[in-house]
A = this chain, B = another copy of it.
């Protein structure tokens, strides 16, 4: 039936696991919320080869209904749930990395869970299975890693509940991970997401076939409740736009699927099909156990709590969200990012434009962005060049900035920055200036950029960059977090000029601002003599009606602004970029570009 609905469900996991290996631990496992399990088994699959230094291991953590079969092991193997991202030459390249994907504790795919035998009673645990947490899952993974003889993971990667495991690795075993990639996840569920889980659990718990959780031997099992929970889940995994695209054209033509559920409408036949299919492969007690673990997951609500928990790890981070994901909305990923910034961690963040909702992290639609970000990130933390992307091309066709590419001010700005200073570049484009600074020996570098492709270009250059719109407010960097904050040729495109400058001066000891001088003689002349809105080569080479520039200021205006606000001006460099020289006489008339070093 899989051809009837092309769905991420088909790649969420399921089927047999012939490639699974089993690690059994006979010592009792102490659980976070108290109690213990008398011993646990972890089923897992591996891909690629662990290298001699055991430094190339990537742990992939699956989501609620996933399993260890993250990818096919060979062309004849059944598909895995993330074949698009994992395999030879793919983003998580199994030719380079040793990939480990374990089934989570509490699940029903080979790891110990409610369907496993309770040695004390000789029958399945059922509802007696203790309440477990994400930390307990991660503890099992840690035991597995120990058994495999791996001291430090190159990276822990996971989306959704898999992302919760990534955050927990950072929180509890920060010294065991070199890098963390958290995708479409959150510090804790929104109340809304939790509410959907609760309704699903209520449907299972009050299914008359639930039998208090001991339904394993019974003929009647809580399949209705589990199917209802799954249907709710499916709605939340898709966005409104995705559902429209999927179902509106055939609104009144349900697919002829085998389900007892209502199928008057197209979307109903889909839900019925998904519900009916899910109960064939998933255990209701496991569903409740895992969804409760998600609901109980709480890495901290405030930035301070979150920074103290996940910020403890010395890891480098990649955080990704999807614009239409309303179950794990992008602002929750930004919470993670801001906590990491507060903890002074190296982090790259991208909010990927997508119509696919939460499911986007499993679907091919945006793989060109999120997959390539992952690929570049892994290469960077592995200390290698991005495979297949020569350095010269790293900022290549993707490196598009709305501003003029001929940036003669970069060298001048670089000269103004003290040796070794940490630098934040706002509106960093494809990272040209930051790359120049890295070549000059600066180590702590970070960019902020609006354009998604430029964010990817930065990542390919090995730079940390935060995807953000300056007009929506600067990401919450710490007070004085950088020696130097740069806003080069971006001020004129910013609507909230005072807000951005205030934020810069809070974050940086020194700030460098460059902007085109609107009172440059050529521009004055155009208005004064020709009576036309000034245009000029370079940054002002736009028409009055389509320019990205929305603020027009002169050197005199900027100095007056600084004076009124009490900003200190340390240096001023005025350039005539047409002539290629510095201007000393009457700069407000003779310079087309000004660079200021200011502080509070």
Interface status of A394 (Cβ within 8 A of chain B)? no
Q: A201, A203, A518: which has the most chain B beta carbons within 10 Å?
A: A203
Q: Is the CB of A195 within 8 A of B267?
A: yes
Interface status of A262 (Cβ within 8 A of chain B)? yes
Within the complex, what minimum Cβ distance (angstroms) separates A377 from chain B?
Answer: 29
Docked CA distance A555–B227 (Å): 67
Q: A190-B243, A524-B527 are in contact. Are A202 and B235 (CB under 8 A)?
A: no
Docked CA distance A400–B267 (Å): 46
Q: Interface readout for A206-240 with B: 1 if CB under 8 Å, 0 if not?
A: 10100000000000000010011001100100101
Please, which residues of chain B bring their CB within 8 A of the CB of A240?
A: 190-192, 326, 329
Q: Is the CB of B531 within 8 A of A555?
A: yes
Q: Which of these, B203, B326, B545, contacts A498 with CB under 8 Å?
A: B545
Within the complex, what minimum Cβ distance (angstroms) separates A136 from chain B?
Answer: 17
Please, which residues of chain B bring their CB within 8 A of the CB of A205?
A: 261-262
Q: A201-B262, A262-B198, A545-B551 are in contact. Are A244 and B190 (CB under 8 A)?
A: yes
Q: A238, A262, A271, A523: which has the most chain B beta carbons within 10 Å?
A: A262
Within the complex, what minimum Cβ distance (angstroms) separates A252 from chain B?
Answer: 9
Interface size on A, residues (CB 8 A): 73
Q: Is the CB of B532 within 8 A of A554?
A: yes
Interface status of A22 (Cβ within 8 A of chain B)? no
Please, which residues of chain B bring their CB within 8 A of the CB of A243?
A: 190-192, 195
Interface status of A305 (Cβ within 8 A of chain B)? no
Q: Is the CB of A191 within 8 A of B248?
A: yes
Q: Is the CB of B198 within 8 A of A271?
A: yes
Q: Interface readout for A302-335 with B: 1 if CB under 8 Å, 0 if not?
A: 0000000000000000000000001001000000
Docked CA distance A172–B419 (Å): 77
Closest to A252 in B: B298
Please, which residues of chain B bring their CB within 8 A of the CB of A589?
A: 531
Interface status of A578 (Cβ within 8 A of chain B)? no
Docked CA distance A206–B588 (Å): 78
Docked CA distance A205–B495 (Å): 55
Interface status of A13 (Cβ within 8 A of chain B)? no
Interface status of A247 (Cβ within 8 A of chain B)? yes
Please, which residues of chain B bring their CB within 8 A of the CB of A518?
A: 527, 533
Q: A266, A524, A545, A556: which has the most chain B beta carbons within 10 Å?
A: A545
Please, which residues of chain B bring their CB within 8 A of the CB of A544?
A: 497, 551-553, 557
Q: Is the CB of A556 within 8 A of B532?
A: yes
Within the complex, what minimum Cβ distance (angstroms) separates A462 from chain B?
Answer: 35
Please, which residues of chain B bring their CB within 8 A of the CB of A472?
A: none
Closest to A497 in B: B545
Q: Which of these, B261, B266, B550, contacts A206 with CB under 8 Å?
A: B261
Please, which residues of chain B bring their CB within 8 A of the CB of A227?
A: 202
Per the 8 Å Cβ criterion, residues 242-284 of A in contact with B are 243-244, 246-248, 251, 260-262, 264-268, 271-272, 275
Closest to A295 in B: B265
Q: Which of these, B246, B261, B275, B528, contacts A528 with CB under 8 Å?
A: B528
> Closest 10 CB pairs between A and B?
A497-B545, A528-B528, A519-B531, A550-B550, A191-B243, A191-B247, A531-B588, A198-B268, A208-B208, A206-B224
Closest to A247 in B: B191
Closest to A208 in B: B208
Docked CA distance A23–B533 (Å): 72
Closest to A520 in B: B531
Q: Which of these, B198, B208, B247, contacts A265 with CB under 8 Å?
A: B198
